[in-house]
Amino acid sequence: MAVAVAERHKLRELSMLHRKHLQYQEKMFVHARDAHTEEVPFRESRVDVDGLSVNYIDEGRKDAKVLLLVHGGGDSSSYNSWRLNIEELSRSYRVIAPDLPGFGKTHKPDKKCTLDYYVNEFMPKFIESIGLSGQKLLLAGSSMGGGIVLGYALDHPEMVEKQILIGSYGLYDRSFSRLANRLAHMPHFSYRAFELMRTRAGKVLDFVVGLSLLDAIKEHDMLVNIKEVREHDIRPAFFDFLDDQITKTGFRTNYSKRVGELSERGIQTMIVHGTEDPLFPIKDILKVADRIKDCKFYEMTGCGHSPQLKDPDSFNAKVLEFLSAEGQEAARAETSRRRRWPLGMKLFRWRWSEA
């Protein structure tokens, strides 16, 4: 009897949660629709990369230092991922943001879109195709794009001066729950889930996702991405990546054991992470940041998985500070001063927090 009463209370609470969840979604979907339907206000170009016509945003002075932005897997396009950052960043740099193969206005190639494909095939060929071979680049990547940027920096260090990892994939090997990992490996489950999101039945799926990843679904940027997925067919490329990287026990790629190579190769690193990121918990990312010499860590309070969209003003300011020579000199001076602490005390971990 007591169990039945408890179950009824639980169902009533879930029903209330469901209504609030849908109300919040409807409000956010209006913003998502407007963001998607408006004309892209940035200069776009196309380039042939190994027979594939790749769309990319190219803003800022042609003679300025290049900042290459790489979007995430659920973002659907470079514009959706960086729309609140490009204008400000392009005042100081030439900002290039490609639609990865299989995303946005770039078609999927006739091959699997794995992490290795993006890191060691697409990135080198794209950079060469737009005439940047031999230049030291500034790179920034969000989520899946962060994993691509990190992998590229480790495998092609001669091409990278500084990198910024935002809510980045590839920094540890643990994944979501065991159930989520196993569901991802059930035949057609993940693909059919995205199929539902393109229909009215998607609201039912959204509710299920809201129960299992409630913190993620509350994030404005995650809701925008769900809307974008409904209107863009990014499934083949994204699920190539997921199938390649998600195992039954966790993530396949974990660069955390190699991050010490970054400073050895002269690559300066900044990690930007939201305190409320539900996909990659900040406590785990902080442990990895400690292994990177002189790594600058920017903790964005109250932000989730896409802090560049949640608080673009703070994000843009810190990125520009990191990329500037003055900011780096100040960082090195401060780090040097802190490292003179007495032996036995905990090593200094540079950690910014919002004012």
- Superfamily of domain 44-174+253-353 in CATH is Alpha/Beta hydrolase fold, catalytic domain (3.40.50.1820)
Q: What are phi and psi of 193, to 5 degrees?
A: -60, -45
pLDDT-wise least confident of 14-18, 133-137, 290-294, 316-320: 14-18
Residue 310 reports pLDDT greater than 80:
yes
68 versus 208: which is more confidently predicted?
68
To the question of pTM greater than 0.85 for the whole model, the response is no
**Residue carrying the six token digits 């003055």:** 326
Q: What is the mean pLDDT of residues 257-278?
A: 93
Predicted confidence (pLDDT) per residue in 195-230, tens digit: 544 454 444 444 444 333 333 434 434 444 444 444
**Does the pLDDT at position 21 exceed 60?**
no
Q: Burial of 215 by CB count in 10 Å (0-12 exposed, 13-18 middle, 19+ buried)?
A: middle
Residue extent(s) of CATH 3.40.50.1820 domains in the chain: 44-174+253-353
Q: Count of alpha carbons within 13 Å of 21, Cβ hemisphere only?
A: 22
Res 2: pLDDT: 59
d(CA 123, CA 189): 30
The C-alpha atoms of residue 137 and residue 355 are separated, in whole angstroms, by 30
Tokens of 11: 């169902």
Average pLDDT of span 90-96: 97
How high is the pLDDT of residue 240? 83
